Amino acid sequence: MKRVLLGMSGGVDSSVAAILLKEQGYEVIGITMKLFEGEIDGSCCSSSSSSDAKRVCDYLQIPHYTINFKEEFNKYVIQDFIEKYKNCRTPNPCIECNRYLKFGKMYEKAQELECDYIATGHYAKIEYDEKYHQNVLKKSNALLKEQSYVLYDIPHNLLDKIIFPLCDFNNKDEIREIARKHNLPVANKPDSEDICFIPDGNYKEFLEKNSVVRKYGEIVLKNGEIVGTHTGLYNYTIGQRRGLGIAYEVPLFVIGFNQEKNQLVVGREEELYQKEIIVESVNWLVDVELPKKVATKIRYSKKEAESLVEELDDGNIKVTFNEPQRAPTSGQSAVFYIDDIVIGGGKIK
In 3D space, the residue among 151, 97, 103 whose CA is nearest the CA of residue 125 turns out to be 151
Q: Do the beta carbons of residue 95 and residue 153 sit within 8 Å? A: yes
* Annotation says 45 is catalytic: no
Burial class (CB in 10 A: 0-12, 13-18, 19+), 304: middle
* Annotation says 44 is catalytic: no
Most confident of 8-12, 25-29, 52-56: 25-29
Q: Give pLDDT, residue 336.
A: 98
Answer yes or no: is pLDDT of 335 > 90.
yes
Q: Is the dihedral of CA 177, 178, 181, 183 positive or negative?
A: negative
Answer yes or no: is pLDDT of 193 > 80.
no
Q: Is the pTM of this model over 0.85?
A: yes
**Separation of alpha carbons 284 and 292, rounded Å:** 13
* Tens digits of residue pLDDT in 112-162: 999 999 999 999 999 999 999 999 999 998 888 899 999 999 999 999 999
Answer yes or no: is pLDDT of 42 > 50.
no
- Residue 303: which pLDDT band, with cuts at 50, 70 and 90? very high
**Separation of alpha carbons 303 and 345, rounded Å:** 15
Q: Give pLDDT, residue 46.
A: 55
CATH code assigned to 3-201: 3.40.50.620
Q: Average pLDDT for residues 60-80, to the nearest whole number?
A: 96
- Residue 264: which pLDDT band, with cuts at 50, 70 and 90? very high
Q: Is the dihedral of CA 36, 37, 41, 45 positive or negative?
A: positive
Answer yes or no: is pLDDT of 39 > 60.
no
**Separation of alpha carbons 346 and 331, rounded Å:** 9
- Assigned CATH class of 273-348: mainly beta
3-state secondary structure of 59: helix
Superfamily of domain 214-267: Adenine nucleotide alpha hydrolases-like domains (2.30.30.280)
Range with lowest mean pLDDT among 30-39, 202-211, 337-346? 30-39
**Separation of alpha carbons 276 and 320, rounded Å:** 5
**Separation of alpha carbons 215 and 234, rounded Å:** 9
Answer yes or no: is pLDDT of 45 > 70.
no
Angle (CA) 69-72-74 rounded to 5° is 105
Q: Using alpha carbons only, how large is the chain's radius of gyration in Å? A: 22
Residues of 104-123 as b/e, b for ≥16 C-beta within 10 angstroms?
Answer: bbbbebbeeeebebbbbbbb
Report DSSP letters for 241-264, one per residue: -TT-----SS--EEEEEETTTTEE
- Percent with pLDDT over 70 in the chain: 96
Range with lowest mean pLDDT among 196-205, 266-275, 304-313? 196-205
* Tens digits of residue pLDDT in 212-232: 788 899 999 999 999 999 999
Average per-residue pLDDT in the chain? 93
Q: Active-site residue among 88, 97, 115, 167? A: 97
Domain edges within the chain = 3-201, 214-267, 273-348
Q: Active-site residue among 44, 57, 88, 196? A: 196
Answer yes or no: is pLDDT of 104 > 90.
yes
Q: Give pLDDT, residue 215.
A: 86
Higher pLDDT, 188 or 93: 93
Q: At residue 231, what are phi and psi to the nearest 5 degrees?
A: -105, 15
